[in-house]
Amino acid sequence: MAAPPAPRAVLLFDIDGVIRDVGGSYRRAIVETVRHFSGWAPDAAAIDALKAEGCWNNDWQASQELLRRHGGAPLPAYEALVEVFSGFYFGGDPAGDPSLWRGFIGQEPLLVDGPFFAALSGAGIAWGFVSGAEPPSARYVLEQRLGLAAPPLIAMGQAPDKPDPTGLLGLAASLAGVPLGPTAPPVAYLGDTVADVETVRRARRRRPDQRFEALAVAPPHLQRPGLEAERRRYEEQLREAGADQILASTGQVLELVSAPWPPGP
């Protein structure tokens, strides 16, 4: 039997803010966790500013850092913070039956649908996910809500946290079907934070013989009417961090792959 044809490109996605809107779930869990321990509720701008630093992709660590910067009471034990955060986000046992979860995870609008990925496959694009989300949360959105069968996924704990590119490089090589390098297909990553863009920059430094493309999109909470100025500022931060293209939405990827893509170097 002949081997399947090599993909013309590999496209990897972040999940939070790219595949699902987490403004009312993960971000809300940050707010409520910080409020629980300090009485202070950080606003969206404070969280955006922290994320723009490029090193707070892990929301547990981001919550702890917001508490540290706010001052006041001693910082909680990290394990206690994680437990409180998970209570808000999952509202049940993360390793248990998702139908029993009662937390914020039930309030996550999807930004794409199952046919979106079928269209990518039809265009000769191999795709997968590199996310800082906890594995049960990532599998829930990909498998149960989007109906994807065994989607290629690197989630929290399965590789070093972004912006370390280890997970991206490993999954990209697996999907390319050949070792990364000058004869491998181009690899693109679509994320919504400075850390996502920096992950691609570090991948380039680690594998300078492989072509990478950093795609970025502003998260959904900045795409609401009346927030145009804030969105432009955020997109400029992504651009300054090294994003090659800023997309208006995740769905715009289909416009890219309908033409010869990626364009030549």
CA dist., res. 205 & res. 199, Å (int): 10
Beta strand pairing call for 153-154 and 9-13: unpaired
Mean pLDDT (the chain) is 93
The CA radius of gyration of the chain, in Å to the nearest whole number, is: 18
pLDDT in tens, 93-146: 999 999 999 999 998 999 999 999 999 999 999 999 999 999 999 999 999 999
Give the pLDDT score at 55. 84
Whether residue 41 is predicted with pLDDT greater than 80 in this model: the reply is: yes
Specify the higher pLDDT residue, 1 or 96: 96
What's the pLDDT band for 264 if we cut at 50, 70, 90? low
> How many CB atoms are closer than 10 A to CB 262?
21
Instruction: Classify each residue of 90-105 as buried b or exposed e, where b means 16 or more C-beta atoms within 10 Å of its C-beta.
Output: bebebeeebeebebbb
Q: Measuring CA to CA, which residue among 235, 244, 134 is closest to residue 187?
A: 244
Sheet containing strand 125-130, strands side by side: 153-154, 125-130, 9-13, 187-191, 212-217, 245-247
- With a CB cutoff of 8 Å and minimum separation 6, the contacts of 102 are 91, 92
pLDDT in tens, 210-260: 999 999 999 999 998 998 999 999 999 999 999 999 999 999 999 988 877
Give the pLDDT score at 74. 87
Which residue carries 């390319």 as its tokens? Answer: 176
Positive or negative, the Cα torsion across 166, 130, 61, 80? Answer: negative
pLDDT in tens, 168-182: 999 999 999 999 999
pLDDT in tens, 59-92: 999 999 999 999 877 899 999 999 999 999 999 9
What's the pLDDT band for 265 if we cut at 50, 70, 90? low
Give the pLDDT score at 257. 86
Reply yes or no: is the peptide bond before residue 262 cis, omega within 30 of 0.
yes
